[in-house]
Structure 1
Amino acid sequence: MLSNTTSDGSFYSTLINFTDIQAIEAKIAPLSYHLPKSSVIEGLPDGILALIAPLVAYWTYSSFFHIIDEYKLAEKYRIHPSEEMLSRNRVSLPIVIRDVIFQHVIQSVMGYALYCIDPLPTTGYENFEMWQLRNKLPEWIPTTLIYLWYWYGQSLVRMFFAFLIIDSWQFHLHRIMHLNKALYKRFHSRHHQLYVPYAYGALFNDPVEGFLLDTLGTGIASLTTGMTPIECTILYTFSTMKTVDDHCGYSLPFDLFQLLFPNNSIYHDIHHQHFGVKYNFSQPFFTFWDTWFGTTYHGVDEYKTAQEKITLQKYRQFLQERKNKRRNAAIAKKMPEPVSSSSDEDEDIDEKKTN
């Protein structure tokens, strides 16, 4: 049953406490007790860190893209020309920032209320639980594997299922907001005032929708999966940055969010355009709900690469060709060129022909 492992200063020794391994493999069960767990940052409870970290991540990551916007540092990777953002969007930046701050206040108040009633995290029982696992599982399973599963594997599984819960919650609520015209007009149309999305506007929503879609959805995911405060910190921060990235307006190379997930800035940008407003409801991680419900926008399929992902260059080509077709159709009919709009009621000439 012995693991035959030693502490040698290697990478594994940073992941595994070999003193714990010996306790887990002992014939006598380790003591089990509950003591207050120390915080990752001394003096700052982990539960409070879970509230602060997403806010810092949102404004820091959004400011990164804002600086790129202002100084035009990555124009070749911008999805829409900067003048489109100024001319097409129906709400000013100060109002966007004001509304996002208000949503963050609501989010923080709700999070703090939950923090106050949550039991304080404890430690001291872990070796006993791993010892029980060791004695229940076959001997051919290495003790180090049990250790890695207990400390890291379970967290990864909880994180993955939290992603699925968030995606499921947001897809169905988002889709309902579009299918029901009253809900769309009262709540969700506010977010679609941003025809050309940008990072600061990622959480620009009606306060009620923002609470239901983001705050409540993520909270349900963390509670359902039984996450620890540190796992919540990672989930909230990662989800926040992913949402900002989806609205950033850029398709940057080596963007890990866009490389790891099929749902990316271009996929979500399609949803913000008048021709795609009734498609691509999935957010923020995966796209399987759109596939199952038949709400994936297929107008760009011919522009996709062999990896089934549309590149920035191909998406730009699609937008330009679409614009040219609309202009030519308007000239042929001797009528003014249609003005693009992000309204849910807008229809496109070519869409009528193809759908």
Structure 2
Amino acid sequence: MGINFKISDEVLGIFVPIFIYWIYAGIVAVIETAFPKYKMQTTEEQDEKNLVYRSTVIKGVLVQQSLQAIIAALLFLLTGGANPHDVHAAAHAAAGGGTGAGASACRYIIQFATAMVVMDTWQYFMHRYMHQNKFLYKHIHSHHHRLVAPYAFGAFYNHPLEGLMVDTMSGAISFLVSGMSTRASIFFFSFATIKAVDDHSGLWIPWNPLHVFFRNNSGYHALHHQLHGTKYNFSQPFFVFWDIILATYYMPQVDHKNEDKQK
């Protein structure tokens, strides 16, 4: 008799985004080695400008991901991994009503869009406040800005309190408000992770689809990490509408080295 081994959606929801983080960061490392012309700053320039060792960044990210895993486990435990929308849809289908692939796809699109807006809203205002409050910036958010020239695997390098208040809380709230299932959350948070890593990659690749569809990209975020850009571009990780609405959007014409073009 064979052993039926199945990994639950809850376990996948906890660990897949973490694995995706390091896998995509590794892919970025391969790309920047193969195509150094797309790096906004060289590795030597990154190491010279940054105020923290890469080994320290790795340790910080692992701490952040450990906290993330604990909160995700508690969230799935408290919610039971199911959302009311999916339970209602399953009951309706069992009664012979059916939902149809189109209706299901529409529901998932709405859930993902809602989660993206909620996450962006939470992170914009929390991120901006971290900059405006001198105490919070000095003792908490400045940890992330030790990466003056960010790189891919430093995307989640934060003070643990910021990681909890900004990243983890925005994920938990977007999950609850959108009503997505645990299985849907695997895909959503994996994409959000890819987006965050790409935004901190230090690469400006013209054919990158994330740059085509999102104005919030690696060039936009790299500018925020520069000294003259810390008062702008607080949006993360998807859209820039809050920056535009509240007049904190700043994206001058830049070349692939992320330097303002002189006219």
What TM-score, normalized by structure 1, do the two folds share?
0.68
Counterpart for residue 171 of structure 1: 124
3-state DSSP of counterpart to 2:11: helix
Q: Which residue does the alignment assign to 2:46?
A: 85
Pairing partner for 1:312 from 251, 256, 261: 256
Equivalents in 1 of 2:106, 2:96: separation in Å?
13
- The one-letter code of the counterpart of 1:125 is A
The residue type equivalent to 1:66 in the other structure is: A
Query: After superposition, what is the alpha-carbon deviation per residue over 1:266-310, rounded to whole angstroms, capped at 9, x for unaligned?
Result: 000110001111111111110110111111125x1xx3xxxxxx5
Residue 109 of structure 2, aligned match among 156, 163, 166: 156
Q: Which has the higher helix share?
A: 2
Closer/same/farther in 2, CA of residues 181 and 124 from structure 1, 3 Å limit: closer
- Which one has the largest radius of gyration? 1
2:197 equivalent among 244, 267, 287: 244
Specify the alignment match of 1:125 in structure 2. Answer: 91
**Correspondence for 1:55:** 18
The answer to whether 1:43 aligns with 2:43 is: no
Match of 1:131, SS?
coil
What is the Cα deviation at residue 157 of structure 1? 0.7
Tell me the TM-score normalised to structure 2 length: 0.90
Equivalent AA in structure 2 for residue 82 of structure 1: T
Deviation (angstroms), 1:124: 4.9
Deviation at 1:166, TM superposition (A): 0.5
Give the equivalent residue in structure 2 for 1:259.
212
1:299-342 deviations in whole A, cap 9, x for unaligned?
Answer: x1xx3xxxxxx5526x4453xx59xxxxxxxxxxxxxxxxxxxx
Q: CA deviation at 1:254?
A: 2.6
**Which whole-Å CA distance do the structure 1 matches of 2:36 and 2:110 have between them?**
38
SS of the residue corresponding to residue 165 of structure 1 reads: helix
Change (3 A) 1:246 1:274: same
Distance 2:51 2:41 in 1: 16
Which portions of structure 1, spanning 4 or more consecutive aligned residues, are displaced by more than 6 angstroms?
Answer: none
1:106 aligns with 2:67: yes
- What is the root-mean-square deviation in Å for CA atoms of aligned residues? 2.2
How far has the Cα of 1:128 moved from its partner?
4.6
Structure 1 residue runs without a partner (length 5+): 1-40, 133-145, 304-309, 323-355
Q: Distance in 1 between matches of 2:255 and 2:16?
A: 32
- Structure 1 residue 253 displacement after superposition: 3.4
CA distances 1:108-145 after superposition (whole Å, capped 9, x unpaired): 1111122223325578524157728xxxxxxxxxxxxx
Which residue of the partner structure matches residue 34 of structure 2?
73
Equivalent pair of 2:224/2:230 in contact (CA under 8 Å): yes
Query: What are the ranges of 5 or more consecutive residues in structure 2 without an aligned counterpart?
Result: none
Offset at residue 256 of structure 1 (A): 2.0
